Structure 1
Amino acid sequence: MPITYLEKENIFEIRTAQSSYVFGINEKGTIQHLYWGDHIEASECGYLLVGRLHSSFDAEIDRETEEYGGWGGCNYAEPALKVSFADGVRDLRLGYKSYRIVSENEIVIRMADAYYPLFVDVHYKVLPAYDLIERYVQVHNGLNESVRIEQIMAAVWTVQALPDYRMTHVTGRWAGEYQLRSTVLSEGKKVLESRRGFTGPHANPWFAIDNGQADETSGRVWFGALGWSGNWKIVAEKTTFGHVRIVGGVNDFDSSFVLAPGEVYASPVFVGGFTSGGFGQMSRNLHQYQNDYVLPTSKLRKVLYNSWEATEFAVTVEGQKELAQQAARLGVERFVVDDGWFGERHSDRAGLGDWYVNAEKFPNGLEELIDHVKGLGMEFGLWVEPESVNPDSDLFRAHPEWVYQFPTREGTQLRNQLLLNLGLPEVKQFVLHFMTTLLTKYDIRFIKWDMNRTVTEPGTMASCQDADGSMWIKHVHHLYDIWSELRGRFPHVEFETCAGGGARIDLGILRYADQAWISDNTDARDRLSIQEGFSYAYSPSVMMCWVTESPHGFNGRSLPLSYRFHSAMMGGLGIGANISKWSTEELDEAKRYVELYKEIRPVILNGDLYRLSSLRDSNVAAYQYNSTERNESIVFTFLQSQHFGSEVRHLLLQDLVSHAAYAVTIDEGEPFVRHGSTLMNLGLAVSLRGDYKSLMIRIKRLD
C-alpha cells in the first residue's frame, strides 16, 4: 500500500516505487518529519520521534522538522502559516488532531489551533510510479470572526543528514531564461521568488537538492515544483543543527487576505520527489508526471508557422495569405497570425484592448483568411494579450478605472501599455466575453495568450478598494477561471502560455495550457542553453521552439538551416522566419526537415529525455530521446566550434536493450548496425568539424 499508518509507533509512511517518506506524531502533538529517501522500514524510525532541546535559545529543535507548522511559540523558522486573529492574537499553535485516508493514494492530516477553531488539512497525494507526492493545504475558519492570513505555504519539505547541501535552480531574464545555477547552502536562507505578478523569467518555482556529488546519471536528488502563476516564494533554510527545510507557496509579500467565518482557502499544489538516479531521472519523473497528470490533453504539438517576424504590425490579408501558401508548401499544420490584426493596432502604442478585427487590414472580415488557411489544409490560430491595454484605446477611454493604479499616482507604462486588474469581476467578465465571442464567431483552433508586462502599482480606484483580499492572488484565480471556462466551452481549441517569453510557465498554468513559449530569444545556439535548463523541470512536450532567420537579429549570429532545425526539433516545432524571402533551396530543405520531424515527433514529445552532454561542460552538446517501448531513439548533437584539428567523439547512449541490435542512421548516411551494449558502453562514434555543426541520429531496434 502506498500509505500506511503504524498505530503502535504513531508513524505514517508514504511509499513510492523507489522511496520512503516517513513522519509521525511526537509526544507534544507535533507532526514531525523523520525520513525521506531510499526505501527503509518505517517501523524502525520510532526512536527519531522525540522532542529535542538544546538550550533555552533552541528550546524545540524538533519544530525545525515539522511537516507543517504555524508561526507561534518557539518557532523561529520560515513559517508555513502565519495568521492574525480578530482579538489581536498573532500566535498560532497547531497540533495534530486526526487523519483521514481518502483513497489508497491520498491521505489528509488535520491540524487544529490549541484554542481557536482554526483547522488546517494537510493533503498528500501519492504518485508511486513517478516517486512523487503532491501536497497542498486547506485552511478552514471555524470562528465567528474573520481571520487574516499573513502567510500560507503549500508545503514544507525536509532533507536531513547530508554532509553538504547543494541547491540547483534556474535564473535568467527576458531572452535569457532558464539558466542553470547551483549553490552550496550554508546556514541561513536561500530565497527564490517572484514579486512581479506572474511566475517570472528571473526565477522559476522549481528546486533540486543534493549532497554536491549528484550528476546526470547518478546520485540522490530531492526536488520539487510549485504550481502557481502569480507571486510565489520558495525558501531553502539550513539550520545550525544540519536540517534543510524547503517552504514554498504564494508569496506573502503584499498578499495578506481575510478568511471570513466558515470560509476555506486552498493553497496551490507543491509536488516533491526523490530519486537516486541523478538529475536525469529527476527530470524524466517530472516529465512523465506532467504528461500523464498535469497537462489538459495528450495531443502531439502541431507544426506551426507564426507570421510575427515576417510582418510585425504590418498585417494585411493578402500578405498573410501569401505567407500561408508558403507555410503549407513546407508542410506546416497550423498558421498563426500574431499581433496587429485587431483594433487600430499599427504599432505597440495603440489598440491593445480593442478586440475587433481591423476592417482596413481585413476588408472582408477574418473569415477570408481563415477559409484560405483551411483550404490549404492548415488550422488557424491567433495571438491575443487579454490582460493588457494601451492608454490609446477605446477600452481605456471607456474604463480607465479597470487598470491597476493608485488614486494619487500615474500608472507606469511598460511597452506603452498598462495592465488590467483581472481581479475585478467586471474585468474578468469582459475578457471572458470577448474571448468567447472570438472563439464562437471564427473557426480558431489555437490561441497564443501573451502578457508583455509585469504588475506595477497594484491598486484600484479608492471607491473599489478591497482591504480584505489580495489583488495578486485574485488576478491568478480569475486567470485560471477564464482558462478553465474557455477550455470547457471550446475543447477543440489549444492554448499556449506566453509572457514576454517564458515568464508564465509553472505547474499551475500547465493544467490549462497545451504548450508554452519559453523565450522570445530564438537564436538556435542560445536556445540550446534555454531549452536544456527548461528540461530540468518541464517536459519537452510543451516546449515550443522556432526556426528563425540567419543571421539572427538578437545576436547577429549566422547558423546553418540544419542547425536551426535540429535545435527547434527538440520540442514542439515552429517556424517564425520570413519564409517569403527564403530561396527555393531553403524551402525544399525546410520541407524535408518538417517531414522528418513529423516522423520522429512521437518519440520527441512522448519519450524519455537523456541529456548526454552539455555545452556548459564542453564544446559538444548531445540529447537523446527514447521511445517508451525502447525500440527507437533520436539523438541530436551540436558542436560549438572545432579546436586543434578533427576529433572523433563517442556518445555514450543510455537505456537501450543491451543484447538488442539497432540500425543507426547519422543524418542522411547509410545505416549500420550496433548492439545496445556497444552503443551504451563504447559509445557511438561521431565526427563534427567546423563551427556550429549539428547532426541528427536515428536508432531503431531490429529485433
Structure 2
Amino acid sequence: MNRKDAARSWTLRGARTEYTVAVPEHGRWLELVAWGPHGVSDGPSPVSYDGPTPFLTSGDSAPIEYGTDAARPFAGPDLVVETATGDRRVSWDFQEADGDEQRLAVTFADPVTGLRTVVHYEIPADTDVVRRWVELTNTGDAVLRLVRAGSAGFCVPTPHGARVSYQWGQWAQEFQLDHVDLGHGGFTVGSSQGVPGHLYVPWLAIRDQAEPVGPTWGMALAWTGSWEITAERDTGGLTRVRVGRHLPDGPLDLPAGASLTLPVAAGAYSPDGLDGLARVWHQYQRQLAGERLGPRPVLYNSWEATYFSVDAENQLALARIAAELGVETFVVDDGWFVGRPDDHGGLGDWTPDPAKFPAGFDAFIAEVRALGLNFGLWVEPECVSPRSKLYSEHPDWVYAIEGRPITPIRNQYLLDLGRPEVAEFVHSTVDGLLRQHDISYLKWDFNRPRTEPGRGAASQLPDAGRVDLDGAHVANLHRIYENLRRDHPHVVIEACAGGGARTDLAMAARSDVFWPSDNTGPLDRLAIQYGFLHANAPHLLSSWVTDAPGLFDPRPRSLAFRFVLAMAGVLGIGADIRHWSPQERAEAATWIARYKEIREIIMHGTVHLIGGPDQSRCAVQYTAPDAATVVVLAWHTGRLDGAGLLPFRPVRLPLHGLDPAARYRHGQHHYSGSHLQAVGLPVHWTTTHDAELVVLHRV
C-alpha cells in the first residue's frame, strides 16, 4: 500500500489479531486489506485484486466490506435499496472516518437518494472478535425500500478451495456439526421462522482446504429473528461471507428522516482450526456476560418427572430429595398455572393454580426455600392458548392475516410482541411474577415460530404502513430481557425455545444460560453439546441428568456417563429422582459435590475439544486461568474391542496447552506435561466404566 492509500487505511487490533480496511482512491466502497494475526497487514494484501473482470465489474471481485448492488451487481450485494419509482443500484461516496485501534466508523453518502451509511467496527478489549454493524439514515425526502438488509460481508482467502463448517439440526437434534467443501459457487443457511430456529445456527466457519487445522475464520450474527448467512467462493479463490437479516415478510421501509441500525455481525479468527476458533468465541461470550459470569447453580427441573401433572405434594417430594443430593435451585416447569392440565390451554393466564397449590403458591415456595433451595419457574410469555382468558379478551394481540385462519402450533398462537401494549403486558406479567414471588431462576420458553405475517384487521388500516414485524418483535424481546436483568439482577435467566431454537449472540448477551435441546438422551446429547461448544461458551450450556434414552442413539449409558456429560456446562438434573435407588442417590450426591469443586474452572477455563462423538476418543479439557489445574471430562462412545478378551490398549487423550517441563498429578498418578501432550492421558473403558472425570494438578 502506498503512502497516499495509507491515509485512508485503518487497522483495528485485538488481543492476538488485527483487521485492516481501506477506502480505495475512487472512494466508492470500503474493502478488506488483511485479517489475521498481528502484523498480517505488513505486506501485500492476500485478498486484493485489480486485474481484469470480463463480464463482471471490478466490485464483483474486490474484497468489499459492505456494498450495494451498484458496487456488486452480479456477485451478491449486502444492501439493495429501491426508490419510490422502483429504481435500484444505489451507490455512494466516501465522506469521512473516525476511530482508533478499537473502534472505527466510516461514512458514505449517496447524493441522489440521500442515503447516509455509516459502517461501524469494534474489537472489544482482550478479544479477537470484530463486531460490525451498519447505520442507515434517509436524509432525502422520499421513502426508501430496503430489499436486502445485510449487516456485513467478510472476505477470506481460500486459494485451494473453501471448507465451510456449519451446524444443522431439527427439534431434539440441534447443533450437529458438519462441513462442506466449496470449490466454486455458494452455500446458504438461515431461518425464516422469526427466531434463529432449530434447522441451522447463525454461525459459520471458513478454512482453506489445504490447511484444515490451520487458520480459520468464523462469522456469527447477533440477531434473534430471521437471518441468513451465505458463503460464495469466486474463481479467483476469495470466499466472501454475507451475514445479516433475512426478510421473510418483504422489504423494509426507511421513511424520510428515519434511521435504522442493522444487527451486529461478528467475525473471529484463530490460527488453530475450529478448536481454536471455539476458544475465541468463548472468550468473547464471557465478556458479554460481564459481572454475571458467576457460578451457575446446580438445578433440578421437574419437567421430565411430572410433566403437566404439577401439584405441591409431588413437587415438594422431588425438592426434598433434590436438596439431599446437593441441588441448589429447584425449578417448577410447565403446568403450574390455571387452565394447564395439558398443552391445550393456560398460556397467557399466568396465575398459579390454587387447586394445585391449596396452601398458596407463596407458601409452597417458602417450603422449597426452607429446604435450602432457591426457587425457579418456567414461563412462555410470548404465546397464548386459544382457550385462555387472555385470548378471549385480546384476540387482536396475535399475529394474523385478515380473513384467514390462524395456524396453531403446539395448540397455541403467538403474541405480536412488536405491539407496545403486548410488550407491556409481557413485561409486566414476568416482572410481576418476579416481584410477587421469591423467584431466583426464570426459564423463558418459546415453543412455536411465527407463521402469519400480519396484524389482522389492524394491518389493513390505510395509515398502518409497512411494519417490520420481525424487527419489532426482536427489539421488544431484547428490551424486556434487559429490563428484567436490570430490575432483578439476582435472577438467573435461561433462554429456551423448544430446545435450542433461540441461541445467538444477542441472546448470549441478555440471558445467562441456554437450553440447547429437549433431547436429554446421553449419546444424542453428547453430539449436541459437541456442536454447541464450537459456537458457545460452557457457562451458556445447561445440561441435565435424566432417565431418557436417546432418540437417535438409544444405547444405554451409566449414571456416571450422564453426570460427567452434564458437567460439561451448567449441571442440572431432570430425572424422576423419587425412583432412584439409595445407591443411585448416593452416587448422584458424590457427582454433584465433585462438580461444585470444578465448576469455576468449567465456567472460566480454556477449553480444548478432543476427538468427537463419532470417534473412539471423546473428551473436553478445561484449563484453569492460572494453568495450575486441568479438568478432563471423557466419555466412551463406541465398542470395547473384545471387552478384555483380546489385546487392546487404553484410549489416549492428547491434552493441549500444558507446560511440557511441568509435572501433573491425578491421585497417585504423575505425568509430565510433555507426556500428556505427546502421548496423552490414558483412560481405560470397561463394560461398567464408560465415563471419567480427571482433575490434574500442576505439581
Shorter chain as denominator, the TM-score bin is over 0.9
Rounded to whole Å, the distance in 2 between the matches of 1:43 and 1:554 is 50
Aligned to 2:354: 359
Conserved in 1, the CA contact under 8 Å of 2:158 and 2:208? no
Rounded to whole Å, the distance in 1 between the matches of 2:177 and 2:688 is 24
Structure 1's 253 and 9: CA in aligned 2 closer, same or farther, altered over 3 A? same
Aligned to 1:495: 493
1:221 aligns with 2:216: yes
Aligned to 1:591: 589
User: Gaps spanning 5+ residues in structure 2: where?
Assistant: none
2:625 to 628, 640, 647: 628
1:327 aligns with 2:325: no
User: Gaps spanning 5+ residues in structure 1: where?
Assistant: 666-670
Deviations 1:363-391 (CA, angstroms, capped at 9, x unpaired): 22211111011111111000000111111
Aligned to 1:70: 68
Q: By how many angstroms is 1:252 displaced? A: 2.7
Rounded to whole Å, the distance in 2 between the matches of 1:347 and 1:543 is 28
Q: By how many angstroms is 1:274 displaced? A: 1.5
Aligned to 1:115: 112
Structure 1's 59 and 464: CA in aligned 2 closer, same or farther, altered over 3 A? closer
Conserved in 1, the CA contact under 8 Å of 2:59 and 2:71? no
Q: By how many angstroms is 1:97 displaced? A: 1.5
Letter matched to residue 661 of structure 2: H
Letter matched to residue 422 of structure 2: V
Conserved in 1, the CA contact under 8 Å of 2:383 and 2:414? yes
SS in 2 for 1:637: strand
When structure 1 is superposed on structure 2, of 500-509 and 11-20 the one drifting more is 11-20
Rounded to whole Å, the distance in 2 between the matches of 1:123 and 1:8 is 19
Q: By how many angstroms is 1:550 displaced? A: 5.6
Which aligned pairs between 1:106-255 and structure 2 lie closer than 5 A?
106-127=103-124, 129-215=126-212, 218-255=213-250
Q: By how many angstroms is 1:463 displaced? A: 2.6
Aligned to 1:396: 391
Conserved in 2, the CA contact under 8 Å of 1:133 and 1:271? yes
Conserved in 1, the CA contact under 8 Å of 2:549 and 2:556? yes
Aligned to 1:543: 541
Q: If the length of structure 2 is used for normalisation, what is the TM-score?
A: 0.95
Rounded to whole Å, the distance in 1 between the matches of 2:439 and 2:674 is 49
Rounded to whole Å, the distance in 2 between the matches of 1:423 and 1:96 is 35
Q: By how many angstroms is 1:698 displaced? A: 1.1
Rounded to whole Å, the distance in 1 between the matches of 2:589 and 2:342 is 32
Deviations 1:578-627 (CA, angstroms, capped at 9, x unpaired): 111111111111011111100011111110111122122x2331211111
Aligned to 1:684: 681
1:312 aligns with 2:296: no
Letter matched to residue 134 of structure 2: V
Q: By how many angstroms is 1:410 displaced? A: 1.0
Conserved in 2, the CA contact under 8 Å of 1:11 and 1:46? no
Deviations 1:63-90 (CA, angstroms, capped at 9, x unpaired): 5421111122662222211112234332
Letter matched to residue 126 of structure 2: A
2:695 to 690, 693, 698: 698
Q: By how many angstroms is 1:185 displaced? A: 1.3
When structure 1 is superposed on structure 2, of 444-453 and 139-148 the one drifting more is 139-148
Deviations 1:152-185 (CA, angstroms, capped at 9, x unpaired): 1111100125211110010010010000110011
Deviations 1:240-264 (CA, angstroms, capped at 9, x unpaired): 2322111111113324222222222
Rounded to whole Å, the distance in 2 between the matches of 1:159 and 1:556 is 41
Conserved in 2, the CA contact under 8 Å of 1:609 and 1:624? yes
Q: By how many angstroms is 1:131 displaced? A: 2.2
1:649 to 642, 651, 659: 651
SS in 2 for 1:698: strand
Q: By how many angstroms is 1:112 displaced? A: 1.3
Structure 1's 10 and 224: CA in aligned 2 closer, same or farther, altered over 3 A? same
Give the share of equivalent positions with the same residue, in percent: 36
1:504 to 499, 502, 505: 502
1:303 to 288, 298, 307: 298
Structure 1's 250 and 18: CA in aligned 2 closer, same or farther, altered over 3 A? same
Aligned to 1:604: 602
Conserved in 1, the CA contact under 8 Å of 2:47 and 2:155? no
Q: By how many angstroms is 1:573 displaced? A: 0.2
Conserved in 2, the CA contact under 8 Å of 1:197 and 1:230? yes
Letter matched to residue 458 of structure 1: P
Aligned to 1:534: 532
Deviations 1:317-360 (CA, angstroms, capped at 9, x unpaired): 11111111111000100000000000211000111111011111
SS in 2 for 1:302: coil
Conserved in 1, the CA contact under 8 Å of 2:59 and 2:72? no
When structure 1 is superposed on structure 2, of 563-572 and 544-553 the one drifting more is 544-553
When structure 1 is superposed on structure 2, of 368-377 and 122-131 the one drifting more is 122-131
Deviations 1:421-460 (CA, angstroms, capped at 9, x unpaired): 1111111111111112111111111110001111112211
Structure 1's 8 and 534: CA in aligned 2 closer, same or farther, altered over 3 A? closer
Rounded to whole Å, the distance in 2 between the matches of 1:380 and 1:95 is 57
SS in 2 for 1:679: helix
Rounded to whole Å, the distance in 2 between the matches of 1:692 and 1:661 is 27
Conserved in 1, the CA contact under 8 Å of 2:610 and 2:617? no
Aligned to 2:665: 663
Conserved in 1, the CA contact under 8 Å of 2:524 and 2:553? no
Aligned to 1:275: 270
Rounded to whole Å, the distance in 1 between the matches of 2:321 and 2:552 is 25
Aligned to 1:463: 458
Conserved in 2, the CA contact under 8 Å of 1:448 and 1:496? yes
Structure 1's 181 and 687: CA in aligned 2 closer, same or farther, altered over 3 A? same
Q: If the length of structure 1 is used for normalisation, what is the TM-score?
A: 0.94
Rounded to whole Å, the distance in 2 between the matches of 1:228 and 1:691 is 44
Rounded to whole Å, the distance in 2 between the matches of 1:88 and 1:61 is 23
Letter matched to residue 489 of structure 2: P
CA root-mean-square deviation: 2.1
Rounded to whole Å, the distance in 2 between the matches of 1:586 and 1:64 is 62
Structure 1's 295 and 186: CA in aligned 2 closer, same or farther, altered over 3 A? farther
Rounded to whole Å, the distance in 2 between the matches of 1:580 and 1:213 is 55
Aligned to 1:668: none
Conserved in 1, the CA contact under 8 Å of 2:47 and 2:63? no
Q: By how many angstroms is 1:692 displaced? A: 7.3
Q: By how many angstroms is 1:187 displaced? A: 2.2
Conserved in 2, the CA contact under 8 Å of 1:221 and 1:275? yes
Letter matched to residue 370 of structure 2: G
1:261 aligns with 2:256: yes
Aligned to 2:31: 32
SS in 1 for 2:88: coil
SS in 2 for 1:130: coil
Q: By how many angstroms is 1:637 displaced? A: 1.5
Structure 1's 249 and 524: CA in aligned 2 closer, same or farther, altered over 3 A? same
Which aligned pairs between 1:380-395 and structure 2 lie closer than 5 A?
380-395=375-390
Conserved in 1, the CA contact under 8 Å of 2:60 and 2:74? no
1:564 aligns with 2:562: yes
Rounded to whole Å, the distance in 2 between the matches of 1:66 and 1:7 is 16
Rounded to whole Å, the distance in 2 between the matches of 1:473 and 1:692 is 50
Structure 1's 295 and 497: CA in aligned 2 closer, same or farther, altered over 3 A? farther
1:92 aligns with 2:94: no
Letter matched to residue 658 of structure 1: P
Q: By how many angstroms is 1:132 displaced? A: 1.8
Deviations 1:220-247 (CA, angstroms, capped at 9, x unpaired): 1011111111100111112223221111
